[in-house]
Structure 1
Amino acid sequence: MPRNHRPGPPPRVSVIVPARDAMPGITRAVTSAMEQTLGLSRLDIIAVDDGSADGTAEELDRLAADCPSLHVVRDPHPCRGGTGGPRNTGLARATGDFVFFLDADARLAPDALRRMVAMADQNGTDVVLGKMVSPDGRGVPKAVFRHNQLRTDIHSSHAYASLEPCKLFRRSLIERLRLRFPAHLRHGEGKPFTAAAYLNASGISVVADYDCYHLGPNPGRAAPGLAERVEAMRPLFETAARHTRSGARRDAVMRHHIRRELCPALRALPREDETEVRERFLPELRRWALAHCSDALFPTLTAPERLMVHLLRTGRFEDLLSVVRNARRDARCGHLVEKGSVYWLHPFFRDPDAEVPDACFDVTDRLPVRHHLEGAGWHGRSTLRVRGRAAIDGLAADPEEDRAELVLRRREARDEVRIPVDAASEDDPARFEADVDIATADGGTPLRPGVWDVFLDVRAQGISRTVRFGGRHDDLLDIGTARRVVAAGPGLRARVTPYFTSPYRNLSLDIGPAPRGAPCEVTEAVWHPSDKGTLVVAGRLLPPGTPARGRVLRLRAEHTDGRVHDHPVRFAAGHPAGAFTARLPVRDLGRGRWTVTLAVVTPGDDQGQGRAAPPAAPVPPPARLPGARWVRRGRPYYAKPLMGRGEVTLELRVAPVRLLAAVRNRLGLN
Structure 2
Amino acid sequence: MPVKVSVVVPVYNPGPYIEDCVASMLRQSLPPDEFEVIFVDDGSTDETPARLDALAAEHPHIHVVHQANSGWSGKPRNVGIDASEGEFVMFVDNDDYLGDEALERMYEYGVANKADVIVGKMAGKGRPVPVELFRRNHPHATVENAPLIDSLTPHKMVRRAFLDRTGLRFPEGRRRLEDHVFVTEAYLRADNVSVLGDYVCYYHVKRDDASNAGFQRFEPVGYFKNLREALDIVERYTEPGRLRDRLLRRWLRVEMVERMSGRRLLAMPDDYRRELFREMRAVILERFGPGVAPALRPGQRIVASLIRDDRHDDLVAYAQWEIGVSPKGTPSGVEWRDGALRVTFTTEYTSGGQPLTFPADGPKTPADSAPRDIDEAAAWLGADAVDGFEQATADLVLRDRASSASFFQPVELTRERVPAGDGRVRLVLHGTATVDPGTAAGGSPLDGGLWDTYLRVGLGGWHKECRLGPAPAHDRPTPPAGVVAGRVVLPYWTKNHHNFSLDVDRAGKALGLGRVTPEDAAVSADHRLSLALPLYVPDRTDVLVRLTDTASDRSLRQSGTLTPADGAGSLLEVGVERHGMKGGRLEVCLAPEADTPRFVALPLVLRVTRTGGVRVDRPAPPGLLRRLVRKVRRMLGAAPRRATSHGTTRGA
Please report the TM-score for the alignment, with normalisation by the length of structure 1: 0.48
Please report the TM-score for the alignment, with normalisation by the length of structure 2: 0.49
